[in-house]
Amino acid sequence: MSPADAAGPADVVVALDVGGTGMKCALVRPDGTTVHTERHPTDAGRGPDAVVETILDVAEGLAGKARADGLDPVALGIAVPGVVNEAAGVAVWSANVGFRDVPLRDLAAARLGLPTALGHDVRVGGLAEARLGAGRGTGHVLFVAIGTGIAAAHVVDGVAATGAHGAAGEIGHILVRPGGPRCGCGRDGCLEAVASASAIARRYAEATGAGPTGAAGGGGLTGGGLAGTPASAADVADRAAAGEPAAAGVWAEAVEALADGLATGQSLYDVESIVIGGGLARAGPRLFDPLRAALHERMTFHRRPRLVAAALGDEAGCLGAALLALDAR
């Protein structure tokens, strides 16, 4: 059934978007409007059992808040990072939250007594952008989140493909530069080792001697912990625009690598819209203008997708978790 059609006037979905440092939480109406938001620390260092307890407590609190406000909580949607088996409702693996084979959907459904869906943070973000945000009105959308890493969601007619093992959309690990920088996954030359926000910052630090030389072999996914105040990817974009050669070089390499990755995505999926989210999208025209040109250069017979910035900001995770929960009801 269509979630909006079946909705009662007071229906809301309890939605949680759990990240490594914080949980974004909301009460969302079936039409995608948010009526209440909260944030809570994840405090992942306490271990996965404590994090699960916090998730259940926060969700229960939100359902209680809804009832106290005269609303009717009808479902619960939870988004988590890592590898998520959505069909089984299991958080299979997440480095930054510490989950390993946690049956979070069933635990939450048992605690709250609500129909519950568990989703992957980037896939539900893509779901929300495709249905309510920058991809609205187009049936075939590739949502690409570029931040510490790079991950994607392929959404067709409002449904995000999960893959056979809950790991679809790992576009950050497309091999774009054989023999290139070491990726956090252990291989050399993955897209996210060249073009994630943290890779851009790390490569700039290396190029200017400001960072630890030889660190490319280390934790490419984290990229933090440098001494001093290293330039962020946004700083690199600013310095590239100002004509600083080292920044311009690193930025151009990232854009070219992204264009290679997105061209592969377009070959596979033939989408109408590519929606770019995550921290790097905030670079605006400094990213989108050269990236659009580089992507179009790579299109031969392919139809050129629209290349646009995400519209929902960091609300996308909660909105998508709510949509997923309504779809699963």
Q: Which stretch binds Zn ion (CB under 5 A): 69-77, 79-87, 187-195, 250-258?
A: 187-195
> Which span (103-111, 169-177, 273-281, 312-320) binds Zn ion, by CB under 5 A?
169-177
By C-alpha distance, which of 272, 323, 274, 280 is closest to 124?
323
Whether the Cβ atoms of residue 43 and residue 94 lie closer than 8 Å to each other: no
What's the min distance (Å) between Cβ of 76 and Zn ion? 33
Binds Zn ion by CB under 5 A, chosen from 50, 95, 185, 309:
185
What are the two backbone dihedrals, phi and then psi, of residue 111, each rounded to the nearest 5 degrees? -70, -45
Shortest Å, Cβ 184 to Zn ion: 6
Q: How far is the CB of 145 from Zn ion (least distance, A)?
A: 15
Site stretch for Zn ion (CB under 5 A), options 58-66, 171-179, 203-211, 319-327 = 171-179
Nearer residue to Zn ion within complex by CB, 171 or 325: 171
Give the interface segment with Zn ion, choosing from 150-158, 188-196, 268-276, 308-316 (CB under 5 A): 188-196
Give backbone dihedrals phi and psi of 27, rounded to 5 degrees, phi first: -110, 125
Find the shortest distance in angstroms from Cβ 172 to Zn ion: 6
Using CB under 5 A, pick the residue from 83, 91, 183, 195 that binds Zn ion: 183
Q: Which x/- pattern, by CB under 5 A, does the window 190-209 give for Zn ion?
A: x-------------------
Does 173 help bind Zn ion (rule: CB under 5 A)?
yes
E strands, the chain, in order? 11-18, 22-28, 34-41, 72-80, 83-85, 90-93, 100-102, 116-120, 140-146, 150-156, 159-160, 273-277, 306-309
Residues 144 and 308: their CA atoms lie apart, in Å, by 10
**Nearest Cα to Cα of residue 154 among 1, 257, 313, 270:** 270
